[in-house]
Amino acid sequence: MIEGLKNRRTVRKYLDKGISDDLLNELLEVACRASNTGNMQLYSIVITRDTEQKKRLAPAHFNQSMVTTAPVVITFCADVNRFVRWCAQRNAEPGFDNFQTFMAAVIDSMLVAQTFCNAAEDNGLGICYLGTTTYNADKIIEILNLPSLVVPITTITLGYPDGLPAQVERLPLEAIVHNEKYKDYTADDINLYYEAKESLAENKKFIVENNKETLAQVFTDVRYTKKNNEYFSEVFLKVLKDQGFM
C-alpha cells in the first residue's frame, strides 16, 4: 500500500468504463470504517451517476470537464440532520446547530472521503478532488436537495484512469514537519523550500502563460484571488447560517 500511495497521481481523464455496484459498495463500506466523531457518523454520501444530474452539477464546479466525463461523481456532505432526527425520536434534546458540531462533521466527512479515495486507488481507480464544492455549496445544496444541517464539503470524480498523468511536485518534508514546536519560517527557509518548485519547467511555463513575474503571482492574481476568496467566504458563511450551523 505504501508504494501505491507514494506513486499516486490525481486522475482527470477516465476510460469509458463504468464502475460495478459491487466494487462501489465495497469501497463505500470500507470508507465508513474510518474514524469519526464519537461514532455519530456525521456525514452523508451522495452518488451521482445520472448524466442529467452531472450536467446540473457541472456549473457548480466551474464546468471542470471531469464532472461530466467521469462515470461516478461523489459528494461528501457534513450531515447532522440524520443524527438530530434520531435524537428527536428518542426523547433527547440535541444541541448540534452550531459551529463546533459543523467542524466535527467536516472532519468526519473528510476522513470517510479520503479513506474511500485511498481504497479506490488501491483498486485501480483514479480520483480527482474538486475544491469548488465549498465555493458553490449553495448551488450544490439545491441540486442535491440537501436539507437543513447538511452541507457539501468535498466532491470527487471517479473512474478508471485513461493514461498515467505526471506526478506533481511536493515541498520537501522539512518544510511541512515541525518537531515539538512550530518553528516559523525565515526568509532563507522559504527560499530553500520553494526552490525546487520554482525551478520546474512546467511551473515556469505558468508564469509566462499568465504574463506574471513570479509563480506566487499566478496563485494570488489568477488562481486564488483575494476578491474571489472573499466573495466565496461570504457565500459559504451564508450557507452555514442558512443550513443552521451558525
Which 199-218 residues touch a second copy, going by CB under 8 A? 213-217
Alpha carbon separation from 47 to 50, 106, 204 (Å, rounded): 9, 18, 38
Backbone angles phi, psi at 33, to 5 degrees: -80, -5
Q: Is 64 in the site for a second copy (CB under 8 A)?
A: no
For residues 151 and 170, give the distance between their C-alpha atoms in angstroms, rounded to a whole number: 30
> Interior CA angle at 87 toward 82 and 89, to 5°?
95
User: At residue 108, what is the residue type?
Assistant: D
Segment 132 to 171, residues that bind a second copy, using CB under 8 A: 134-135, 144-147, 150, 153-154, 168-171
Closest separation in Å from C-beta 13 to a second copy? 16
Closest separation in Å from C-beta 17 to a second copy? 20
Q: How many residues bind a second copy (CB under 8 A)?
A: 115
Closest separation in Å from C-beta 178 to a second copy? 5
Whether the Cβ atoms of residue 54 and residue 48 lie closer than 8 Å to each other: yes
For residues 220 and 205, give the distance between their C-alpha atoms in angstroms, rounded to a whole number: 16
* Choices 12-20, 58-66, 128-136, 157-165; region in contact with a second copy by CB under 8 A: 128-136
Shorter beta-carbon distance to a second copy: residue 16 or 38: 38
Among 111, 126, 139, 157, binds a second copy (CB under 8 A): 111
Shorter beta-carbon distance to a second copy: residue 15 or 171: 171
Q: Is 19 in the site for a second copy (CB under 8 A)?
A: no
Q: Is 199 helix (H, G, I), strand (E, B) or coil?
A: helix
Site string for a second copy, 170-189 (x = CB under 8 A): xx-x-xxxxxxxx-xx-x--
Closest separation in Å from C-beta 150 to a second copy? 7
What is the DSSP code (8-state) at residue 6? H
Q: Which of 147, 144, 143, 116 is nearest to 129 (CA)?
A: 116
For residues 57 and 53, give the distance between their C-alpha atoms in angstroms, rounded to a whole number: 6
Closest separation in Å from C-beta 69 to a second copy? 18
Among 22, 91, 201, 208, binds a second copy (CB under 8 A): 91
